[in-house]
């Protein structure tokens, strides 16, 4: 299980409320499914209240006066974790042996401050595309969300693995979405908060069962 995320270049922090990272491989298919796009958009608007380029940067709501300048950390897809590919047993996930590939397409977040504690929700959208080898009827999508304080020695403040199951369609391409609603961590000063980042990405290791402890024989 990957508990720590590799540090990435310092991200822009005062982003608009709806932050998107669109993968070129699925951009066209996302635009081609208005029904799904509408439902996901509505769901994310319910989290973040919509957005526009004229809006101010997102702030942490319900904060006391001295913390009114805190901003909700930006979301960054971890390097090497934006795609999740699965191949036939014992084969590499490529070419004719590829069963399916999942791609993260969009992210969003919301933060709330209460009693010195920040509760955040991070949303992830993406798409699963069947490969030449044929995808299973149901796909488990393993994801991880972490809160990391960047710096000389990056510090993981929160990390948790999540999973969502998706039923594949006849045309071999389906969307997936997940909202992590239980992200909780202590509030810090505005200066420290500016170095915080939400990292997201696929975490295939989280699908593996925990190793069994061998019983001791006397």
pLDDT of residue 207: 81
Most distant CA atoms of the chain, gap in Å: 71
pLDDT of residue 213: 57
pLDDT of residue 57: 47
In terms of pLDDT, which residue wins out, 203 or 34?
203
Using the predicted structure, report yes or no on whether residue 49 has a pLDDT greater than 80. Answer: no
Q: How far apart are the first and last CA of the chain?
A: 32
Segment 52-74 mean pLDDT = 59
Using the predicted structure, report yes or no on whether residue 140 has a pLDDT greater than 50. Answer: yes
**Residue 88 has which token pair?**
């036939």
Radius of gyration (Cα) for the chain, nearest Å?
19
pLDDT of residue 48: 42
Share of the chain above pLDDT 90, in %: 57
In terms of pLDDT, which residue wins out, 119 or 61?
119
pLDDT bucket at 115, cuts 50 / 70 / 90: confident
Q: Is 26 helix (H, G, I), strand (E, B) or coil?
A: helix
pLDDT bucket at 141, cuts 50 / 70 / 90: very high
The Cα 2–Cα 108 span in angstroms is: 22
pLDDT of residue 22: 29
Closest CA relative to residue 18, chosen from 42, 2, 36: 42
pLDDT of residue 45: 56
**Residue 10 has which token pair?**
């310092």
Name the percent of the chain in helix, strand, coil, to the closest 5. Answer: 15, 40, 45
């Amino acid at each position: 299980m990957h508990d720590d995320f590799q540090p990435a270049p310092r991200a822009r922090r005062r982003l608009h409320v709806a932050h998107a990272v669109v993968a070129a491989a699925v951009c066209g298919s996302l635009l081609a499914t208005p029904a799904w796009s509408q439902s996901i958009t509505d769901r994310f608007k319910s989290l973040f209240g919509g957005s526009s380029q004229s809006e101010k940067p997102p702030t942490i709501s319900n904060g006391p006066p001295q913390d009114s300048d805190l901003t909700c950390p930006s979301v960054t897809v971890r390097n090497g974790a934006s795609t999740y590919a699965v191949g036939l047993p014992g084969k590499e996930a490529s070419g004719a042996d590829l069963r399916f590939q999942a791609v993260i397409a969009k992210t969003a977040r919301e933060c709330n401050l209460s009693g010195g504690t920040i509760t955040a929700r991070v949303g992830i959208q993406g798409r699963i595309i069947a490969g030449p080898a044929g995808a299973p009827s149901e796909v488990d999508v393993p994801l991880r969300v972490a809160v990391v304080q960047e710096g000389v020695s990056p510090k993981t403040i929160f990390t948790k693995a999540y999973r969502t199951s998706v039923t594949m369609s006849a045309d071999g391409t389906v969307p997936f979405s997940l909202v992590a609603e239980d992200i909780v961590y202590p509030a810090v000063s505005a200066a420290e908060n500016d170095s915080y980042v939400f990292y997201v990405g696929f975490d295939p290791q989280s699908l593996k069962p925990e190793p069994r402890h061998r019983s001791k024989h006397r």
